[in-house]
Amino acid sequence: MTSPRVLDVGRWEPNASGRLRQAAMELYLERGFEQTTVAEISERAGLTARTFFRHFADKREVLFAGSGSLQEQLVGALAGAPDSASPMEAISAALAAAATVLGQHREYSRQRQSVIAANVELQERELIKLASLAVALAAGLRRRGVDDANASLAAEAGVAVLRVAFERWVSETEDQDLLQVIRESLDQLRTLTADG
């Protein structure tokens, strides 16, 4: 005796997560984040709300679902930097990993940025994710033997560079390499502090 409901629990939906993200982004851009419901996102994706909640805790998390894995990759790249690397060289390795992950999705990034810019709650969420990234990078530097103050400073500086470079990259009219923009921003920070 199998009911449709029971079947639905295990039903395989090809790329459900990607379809939900796409549908959510379309709706957030069309009518705004606040005016969009999970029911509408699921319907647009041709899926059920049940399936939505198997992939995302709520409509906000659709926009932030990748940040945990991004953070893991950055922390992994930091740990993988050569022992001889200085703190900022290790941070640069982490930022290069960020460029590899984020650099493939410029149009999605641009859309996401405009949705976030329109909503204070989302901006706050983004800030908290970036702060959590800085904390994770500082912990990674301490594991490399860097002292507290230097670890925090290098991590915060790295996140500042990532954020400024990312915003520049997303808003540029011409297609640029994110890694290149990150390197330029690191150089800018070096010049700024040398002249300070």
Site residues for its own copies per CB under 8 A: 86-89, 91-92, 124, 127-128, 131, 148-150, 152-154, 156-157, 160-161, 163-164, 167-168, 185-186, 188-190, 192-196
Taking the C-alpha atoms of residue 112 and residue 134, their distance in angstroms, rounded to an integer, is 21
| Burial class of 92 by CB neighbour count within 10 A (0 to 12, 13 to 18, 19+) | buried
Question: CB of 88: closest distance to its own copies in angstroms?
Answer: 3
Instruction: State which residue, 45 or 186, has the beta carbon closest to its own copies.
Output: 186
Instruction: State which residue, 20 or 138, has the beta carbon closest to its own copies.
Output: 138
Instruction: State which residue, 20 or 179, has the beta carbon closest to its own copies.
Output: 179
Question: CB of 90: closest distance to its own copies in angstroms?
Answer: 9
Question: CB of 56: closest distance to its own copies in angstroms?
Answer: 21
Dihedral pair phi/psi, residue 172, rounded to 5°: -60, 140
Question: CB of 54: closest distance to its own copies in angstroms?
Answer: 26
Question: CB of 29: closest distance to its own copies in angstroms?
Answer: 24
Instruction: State which residue, 48 or 109, has the beta carbon closest to its own copies.
Output: 109
Instruction: State which residue, 49 or 153, has the beta carbon closest to its own copies.
Output: 153
